[in-house]
Amino acid sequence: EFEPVLPGSQIALNYSNAIATALKKLSAPENLLVGASSVHPDDDSMCGGGVNLLLFAAGKSAFVQLVFDSNGIVPEFRNRLVAVLQERVRRSFSGDILCEICTTDTHEKNVKKGVVNALGAGNSESTGKLEKLALKLFDEAVANLSEAESGMAVEKFTFKAIGKENMERMMLAISTSLTYVKILGASILVALVLGLIALSVL
């Protein structure tokens, strides 16, 4: 059975009291800590940007973002790397843990046969080195954690879209210019022919 919630009704009062009670139980905000680390490994599937790790921590919770400058990553390897990284993160943080692994999907190193140089497509020795590298980067980021402030800013700007009407004007101007060029070209050609005829007569 549905019942309307009207201002001043008992249901609305209970709802407001429940929200107030829940907000009172919220813990004080934790300081934001940020750590970072990067490396440029000697790997055939890695490009100039190397590997970069960012660690955001607040209290017992942490978010880790690992970015590889590579042409994609093998899904199975990504999942295994996330699991390995999460296990290491839980040694330092006992709260909410989130790890994300991304690539730049660069085409700096391409092959003609298709995407066969994706990260994790190599042998077990190669992928094992990358796993150890990710753990090392995380440990370095934990070591240089420092307080940070978060915020936001809004910047307003104006721009002018071409629009259908302006596009039609532009196309008309281009078409007119091309017509003039054709006429001018034909006139020059006629002048050259007449000049050659005059020279031959002389």
pLDDT tens digits, residue range 118-153?
A: 888 877 778 888 999 999 999 999 999 999 887 777
Residue 20 within a domain:
no
Assess contact for 93 and 85: CB atoms under 8 A. no
pLDDT tens digits, residue range 9-31?
A: 777 787 777 777 776 665 666 78
User: pTM for the complete prediction?
Assistant: 0.61
Question: How many domains does the chain divide into?
Answer: 2
Q: In this predicted model, which residue has the larger pLDDT, 156 or 52?
A: 52
**Which whole number is the average pLDDT over 36-64?**
90
Q: Are residues 115 and 163 in the same domain?
A: no
Q: Are residues 194 and 138 in the same domain?
A: no
Q: Are residues 135 and 77 in the same domain?
A: yes
Range of the domain at 158: 153-202
Residue 6 within a domain:
no
Using alpha carbons, select from 120, 113, 112, 100 the residue that is nearest to residue 46. 120
Residue 144 CA: distances (Å) to CA of 37, 141, 151, 163? 9, 5, 21, 51
**Which whole number is the average pLDDT over 89-114?**
84
**CA 66 from centre of chain:** 12
Residue 6 has pLDDT above 90, yes or no: no
Q: Are residues 133 and 36 in the same domain?
A: yes
Residue 198 has pLDDT above 70, yes or no: no
Q: Are residues 87 and 179 in the same domain?
A: no
Strands (E), the chain: 32-39, 46-58, 61-70, 97-103, 146-148
